[in-house]
Structure 1
Amino acid sequence: MELEGATIVLTGATTGIGRATAVALAQRTRRLIVHGPQSPTQVTDLMNQLRAGMRAGGGVVYLQADYGELEAVGRLTEGIRSATDRIDVLINNAARPGAPARTLSRDGIELTLQTNYLAPVALTTTLLELMPTGRIVNVASATHLSATLHLNDLELARHAYAPSTAYALSKLALVTYTCWLAKNLPNPSIEVVSMHPGVIATDLLHAMFSIGGDSVEYAAANLLEVASLSGDNGTYYDERVPAPPNPIAQDPETQTRLHQLTTNLLGRRA
């Protein structure tokens, strides 16, 4: 996928990996639509930086949406539709660390699952018709490799809750969804992949783990590399290298069951 001249939607673009990715994309793409939870007045510096880096004739749009409210995802979709009639690349990067204690969103859903999984699924589903061709990159995490997908308890209401457990489960759900979507895309010209961007020194990482990490620019370079590839579908990347995901994610029965549960959860809040 050629990023030069493309229209790209990037979620979670105001901090950490997303911000570094937005800055890198601004230097290459034609039209960039970035998302974050902050109000437009809170991202003035970022927007000025992105506009300064854009090529002549390029443009950048900022759209606000709090993934803790599914209605906000619907408003984000409408904002994207108003900004463009075509998307070449969708990068679902927005995420949060597991909350310190199990917390429900305004929709009554466990907050980590909603932010990291349900909201990106809802956004992707509503934007597919704007992608005659293109590539979807779902930013996951290597933590999914050791996670368990509790299909009878996705929201960890009955299993032991820990911030890292909730985070890893949400990312396993996202990788599993990616594998399912690759086989059920309405348009065969669209590709969807997931990736671990690296162990990156961000506030998100340090909220759950006391470890160091690489720079956000390193992660952004990995993300742009995976976004610019083509000819594969359903692949999981460990940084820039295709790698086996958690076997759970590749199980067709698990994929189908997760899709049903996801549809039910989103339908209840529609």
Structure 2
Amino acid sequence: MTGATTGIGRATALALTGRASHLILHGLEPEAQVGELLGAVRAALPSEATLSYFAADFSELVEAERLVSDIRGVTDRVDLLINNAARPGPPTRTVTDTGYEITFQTNYLAPVVLTSGLLDLITDGRILNIASATHLSATLHLDDLTLARHGYSPSTAYAHSKLALVTYSCWLATHRPNPAIDVVSQHPGIIATRLLHAMFAVGGDRPEHAAANIAHVASLRDDNGTYYDERRPAPPNPEATEPATQDRLHAATVDLLAY
């Protein structure tokens, strides 16, 4: 699971300890800075279970690629991949070293890199992409995916990146290499986290509420292509379900990642 050290990810990491034989967590911080969390996770894991932790900053795509190598170095099988790591849109449009808007890169391109790099290890498993209900009000700018020409705002960039992630989930559900793989996406709830409050002046539920929703959806099977609003299957943004839009996004993503 990515983004496991704060907010929703931290609560979910702890919620998953009872069902993991090898729990692999990712965070932005070096391992030395998350000792308290890792200690709590180890204490909750079954005695025979293994914990691995890797740090990677998704504002650099090479770190997402390195994370693929790190994970492949400790396992030859992935039963459940939860792409949870995300960042809010910064106050002004910010471009990474690779030339992409940072919210889109962190919330969309990095999960695609990670998922693509691990897909052959998920022979009978599940990919759960953590999205946001904000994607329902977004428009996917296929001609300007990194928002160089369209009006920028932090919340617009965030919603745009999450719409891309839901659209990718729908594309991958159709093009999964193995029918034993389920690909789903989920809005985990409106949760009081630093990410939420960086963009929206609203309250929210505790991270444990989202963690319970994620753990529930993670436990399901035979629901390939479903978008969940918390625990309830729901229609995503109609753009995400259009095959032509999915294919155009996929083609554009391949071009962007050929850096």
TM-score above 0.5, yes or no: yes
Match of 1:246 in 2: 237
Equivalent residue letter for 2:130:
V
Equivalent residue letter for 1:120:
P
Taking the aligned partners of 1:108 and 1:63, their CA distance within structure 2 comes to 25
Taking the aligned partners of 1:61 and 1:142, their CA distance within structure 2 comes to 31
Residue 173 of structure 2 is aligned to residue 182 of structure 1: yes
Of 33, 45, 53, 2:44 maps to 53
Residue 169 of structure 2 is aligned to residue 214 of structure 1: no
Of 14, 39, 42, 2:33 maps to 42
Of 138, 154, 157, 1:166 maps to 157
Unmatched tracts of structure 2, length 5 or more: none
Taking the aligned partners of 2:243 and 2:77, their CA distance within structure 1 comes to 31
Equivalent residue letter for 1:115:
T
Match of 1:18 in 2: 9
How far apart are residue 38 of structure 1 and its match?
Answer: 0.5
Residue 4 of structure 2 is aligned to residue 29 of structure 1: no
How far apart are residue 78 of structure 1 and its match?
Answer: 0.6
How far apart are residue 27 of structure 1 and its match?
Answer: 2.6
Secondary structure at 2:223 match in 1? coil
Taking the aligned partners of 1:66 and 1:187, their CA distance within structure 2 comes to 30
Task: Map Cα deviations across residues 157-190 of structure 1 (whole Å, 9 max, x no partner).
Answer: 1111000000000000000000000010111110
Match of 2:85 in 1: 94
Match of 2:102 in 1: 111
Secondary structure at 2:257 match in 1? helix
Equivalent residue letter for 2:28:
P
Task: Map Cα deviations across residues 132-181 of structure 1 (whole Å, 9 max, x no partner).
Answer: 10000000000000000011111111111000000000000000000000
Taking the aligned partners of 1:196 and 1:179, their CA distance within structure 2 comes to 14
Number of aligned residue pairs: 259
* Alignment RMSD: 0.6
Task: Map Cα deviations across residues 72-125 of structure 1 (whole Å, 9 max, x no partner).
Answer: 011100110011110000000000001110001121210000000000011000
How far apart are residue 232 of structure 1 and its match?
Answer: 1.1
Equivalent residue letter for 1:189:
A
Match of 1:192 in 2: 183
Residue 182 of structure 2 is aligned to residue 204 of structure 1: no
Of 118, 133, 141, 2:132 maps to 141
Of 115, 119, 128, 1:128 maps to 119
Taking the aligned partners of 1:58 and 1:95, their CA distance within structure 2 comes to 27
Unmatched tracts of structure 1, length 5 or more: 1-9
Please, what TM-score do these two structures have when normalized by structure 2? 0.99
Taking the aligned partners of 2:82 and 2:10, their CA distance within structure 1 comes to 12
Secondary structure at 2:98 match in 1? coil
Runs of 4+ in 1 over 2 A off after TM superposition: none
